[in-house]
Structure formats: structure tokens, C-alpha cells
Amino acid sequence: MVSNRESLKAWLRLSLTPGVGNITARALLKAFGLPEMIFQKSAAQLQAIVSPAVSHLLCLEPEGLADALNTTWEWLQKPAPRHAAMTLHKRLLTLADTDYPSSLMLTPDPPCLLYVMGQTQHLHLLSPAAFKAPMAVAVVGSRNPTPQGRINAHEFASSLAQAGLTVISGLALGVDTEAHRGALQGGTLANPLRTVAVVGTGLDRVYPHQNHALALSIAAHGLLISEYPLTPPPITSNFPKRNRLIAGLSQGCLVVEAAARSGSLITAKQAIEMGKEVFAIPGSIHTTVAKGCHDLIKQGAKLVDCAQDILEELKDLPVIAQVSTETQKSTSRSEIDADVEIAYGLLTKNVQSLQVLDHLGQDPVGLDELQIRSGLPTAQLQAELFQLELNGALGRLPGGLYQKLKRPLPRHPNNPHSFNV
């Protein structure tokens, strides 16, 4: 573990040596012990584990080691900011650290180093006794979800956090953002790790920058985790690579919305390879961002339409609370429509708007088709659609399509187009 500057230098040297990835580093540690011991070995001794070329590189200090050491040491020594009266903490976990998440130790290539910020005193919750699965669920999906996809991500995550689970995601825009926000909103004081963000950059920066405030909120009620060193700018290839950690930290993986080639399907695939449960929310057959979820369901993923479906699959976990009646599944179209009319009728006070809402149905529909269904003149129909959109009763999709939303989007008080944290 990193107990002093020299120990930190040895771990950084191991992680920065060219040709030494996570798997090789783990093999060296298993053969020779801590990094300080590895670097005391001769090239000939090292060749029992690595190639002659890599053994030669291990005998040299890698380029950039001094800068990395200074930057990392300063980051560790500098107090983390406070947020909402919560004290944030920083840790650099190594494979030899007792707080290193045991669930990641079961993956093929656990990172040599993990940078962590937030409520680090609760790291043990990611390392349940006897290597049992953690009380965590990954929630992933499109960076450009439909309005209903945003709602689904927010509400599923809120219900899972309310039930005591930790929601794991990647801090990306779209589904990730709503999953984190939902978990923060639904979590209780009894759940000290409401959500964990596994990011694709060093923890000295937030990417995307729009989520800076959200990242601080996550650290105040959960954790920010990265395997990447400080300072370097975002690298595209790092983001799909970190997905294995999202899958590894979780007992199951929920895909909210995903196109046929969505990066979130990488997380689902890795979860399957690790023997984890995979869940998918179905969508309209006319929506491209539902294609990936439909493919997963065809391949054996569990179709879910409420958080309780996930909780029932994960019933081997210790105490799991029942989600509130608000988040239980609606069993019929008439019940859904009744909820919608109650929610939006109070907002619109407009019978015509409710009729348009009924004509929308459950699938995305274009303006021409809506005009045929409703019989309204174009100008009047557009006015009604605009009013319903302002009230959060429907969302616009690419291609000029409209879709009824199950319940209003949660608005941020300072931004009518954003969602509450």
C-alpha cells in the first residue's frame, strides 16, 4: 500500500513501465512481492516472468516518473474540497491494499492502481465478506437517450438506491448522468454509497465538464473512481476500457437504452463474461436507441419494466427494502393513461390537450400521423403539442417524432431543460 513517497514511487514506476500492463504487473507482484522487491531483481531474474525486452525496461526508470510522482503526491496531500457540508477524502489504492474492492480482484485484469475520491471510509461496502457479490447495480445506456429513456434511467436508479443498492455508472452525458442523479435523489442516510462514478480520466479533472457539480455531489454521497493517472487529457480509448470496472463492481448491469453499436453494450458483454446478471428495458421497435436492448433480450438478458424486477433477481443480497408504490409497475395501459391524465390534466386544464395525448399512444409518432388521428388543423395541433411538451407530458425524438412520457421530467430549478441532482 502507499504509505510514503517512496512506496508511491515504486507503484507508479511499475504502472508506468512500457510493456507492463495490469496482467503482467499482477504476475510480477505474485512472483516477487511488492514493487520495491521487483525493482531489486536482476534482468535475468525478471525474465522468469517477462520477456528480455520488458525485463530491461523494468531496470530503468520510465520517462515521466518524476513528474507523475510529484503530481500524485501533491494531489494526495492536498485536502479534498467540502461539498454540501460533507467532507471528501482521497485515496490511492493498490492491489496490495486491504480496501481494494474484492469484486475487482475477481476480474481478469484488475488495475494496478485505483484513484478514489469521496466517502472512502465506506470502501468496504464494495468488498463484501467472502467475495460475495457487492450490493451494487450498473446502470448504463446511450449518451443521447430519448426523453423517456432519461426518465427511466432516473427512476430505476432512484428506486435501486432507495432499496439500499449502490448505483454504478460512468458520469457520461445521457443515461449515466440521469442514473447518478436518480441514485442521489433516491438514496437515504442508511445508504452511505448511493452511487459510484467510474470515470475515464484522472480525478484531477471532470469530463464532461458539464457534470462538474454532479461529480462533487457523487463524491459527497458516494465515490469517484479512476484507474487513470492525473494530468493527461481525456483519451477516447480509455472510456470503453473503464467499462469493465463498471461491470466488475456490480452484481448486475441494467441497460436503459442502447443503439445496436452502443458502447454500453460493451459493459453488458463484459458483465455476461463475468457471470453477472444483465437486464434491459424494452423500447419502441421504431426507436434506434432501443435496438441494442432488444438484441440483449433476444440473447437472454432479463426484460425489466420496473426496479422490482431487478430486486427480485438479486434477492440473494442481504436486506433489500421494497421500492415505494410510486415505482411499482403499472399493469395496464388504462392505468398508465389514468396516471398521465391525472398528472397532466392538473397542469393543462385542457381537454383538447388530453385528447391529443391519448392520440399519441405509446409509440413515437409523427406530426402527419397525429393530424390524421386527431383531425385537428396543423396550427392547433402544433400548439397543443408545444403546450404538452412544456408541461413535460411528451418528448421530441429525432426525425420529427413525438412520444408520450410516463411522468413529467424532473426539472432543475435554475434550468428548465436540465434535471435535478
Tell me which CATH code domain 5-69 carries.
1.10.150
- Residues 168 and 138 sit within 8 Å (Cβ to Cβ): yes
Selected from 3.40.50.450, 3.40.30.10, 3.10.310.10, 3.30.1010.10, the CATH number assigned to the domain covering 79-327 reads 3.40.50.450
Q: So what's the pLDDT on residue 193?
A: 94
Cα 360 from Cα 373, distance rounded (Å): 9
High-pLDDT (> 90) share of the chain, %: 62
Over its C-alpha atoms, the chain yields an Rg (Å, rounded) of 24
Whether pLDDT at 360 is above 90:
no
Span between the terminal Cα atoms of the chain, in Å: 35
Whether pLDDT at 413 is above 50:
no
| Longest Cα–Cα distance in the chain | 84
What are the extents of the domains in the chain? 5-69, 79-327, 333-405
Cα 389 from Cα 1, distance rounded (Å): 54
Whether pLDDT at 412 is above 60:
no
Q: Is 333-405 CATH 1.10.10.10?
A: yes
Cα 294 from Cα 257, distance rounded (Å): 9
Other CB atoms within 10 A of residue 334 CB: 9
Cell of 181: 442523479
Mean pLDDT across the chain, nearest whole number? 85
Helix (H) or strand (E) holding 366: strand 365-366
254 φ/ψ angles, rounded to the nearest 5 degrees:
-105, 125
What is the DSSP code (8-state) at residue 144?
S
pLDDT in tens, 249-260: 999 999 999 999
236 φ/ψ angles, rounded to the nearest 5 degrees:
-55, -40
What is the DSSP code (8-state) at residue 207?
S
Record the pTM. Answer: 0.81
High-pLDDT (> 70) share of the chain, %: 85
Cell of 112: 494496478
Q: Which of 246-250, 319-323, 387-391 has the lowest mean pLDDT?
A: 319-323
Q: So what's the pLDDT on residue 70?
A: 97
Cα 421 from Cα 122, distance rounded (Å): 21
Amino acid making up residue 255:
V
